[in-house]
Amino acid sequence: MRVLIVEDDAVLADGLVRSLRQSGYSVDCVADGLAADAALTTGQFDLVILDLGLPKMGGLEVLKRFRGRDGSTPVLILTALDGVNDRVRGLDLGADDYLAKPFILAELEARVRALTRRGTAAPSTVMKHGDLAFDRVGKIAELKGQMLDLSARELALLEIFLQRPGRMVNKEQMVDLLCQWGEEVSTNAIEVYIHRLRKKLEPGGVRIVTVRGLGYCLEKVQAA
């Protein structure tokens, strides 16, 4: 498991490097945005821990460039405690999680574990989420063994969610992802498709959760 830490505060960076190495991660560390951009262009990482306030190039710009090159590695951003706007902007740009400074190391480690687990899911043609199974080759979705009647766009959105279980996806990201597949959709249309998809999934205990201002994510309703 290889982690890239981007942090210009030497004391904090040192603490993070030591703690993650002790937990068995292989850790690279850079202290400015340009070095981070270069490392992400050439290296392969399983997780990026990215401070936003960085010399030479800000963390948000690093993130934007990385996702712009289709970098799919999970990114955990470190933000100032009052940096709500940065946080929202970071999630909009494709960060997977954030931690506000100051944080306790144990919390960072828990988030690192969660994000690296997600990153290592074995690729398979059938994606499963609770009672939901989706065959990405055949484009067939089944809920509790019953085939779901979904439109092409509902299937496309479902696939987007299934590729990011428990992770937030916002409408702009969905529009971008659908555009990459040659679809042209407005953010308003996304709302309509999500509404329909949600109604079809809920009877099977699979929920699409809305987090106001941040986006949507797929959540499995735990059986009582």
Q: How far is the CB of 13 from Ca ion (least distance, A)?
A: 9
Q: How far is the CB of 30 from Ca ion (least distance, A)?
A: 12
Q: Within 13 Å and on the Cβ side, how many CA atoms surround 32?
A: 5
Give the separation between CA 215 and CA 209, rounded to whole angstroms.
8
Nearest to 2 by CA among 97, 124, 120, 168: 120
86 binds Ca ion (CB under 5 A): no
CB of 23 to Ca ion, least distance (A): 23
| Residues in binding contact with Ca ion, number by CB under 5 A | 3
Tokens for 54, please give them: 């960085």
Q: Which is nearer to Ca ion, 53 or 71 (CB)?
A: 53
Q: Which of 1, 28, 39, 53 binds Ca ion (CB under 5 A)?
A: 53
Q: Are 194 and 154 in contact (CB under 8 A)?
A: no
Backbone angles phi, psi at 140, to 5 degrees: -120, 130
- Does 51 sit near Ca ion (CB under 5 A)? yes
Cβ closer to Ca ion: 81 or 224? 81
15 interacts with Ca ion by CB under 5 A? no
Structure tokens at 25: 């991660």
Positions touching Ca ion (CB under 5 A) are 8, 51, 53
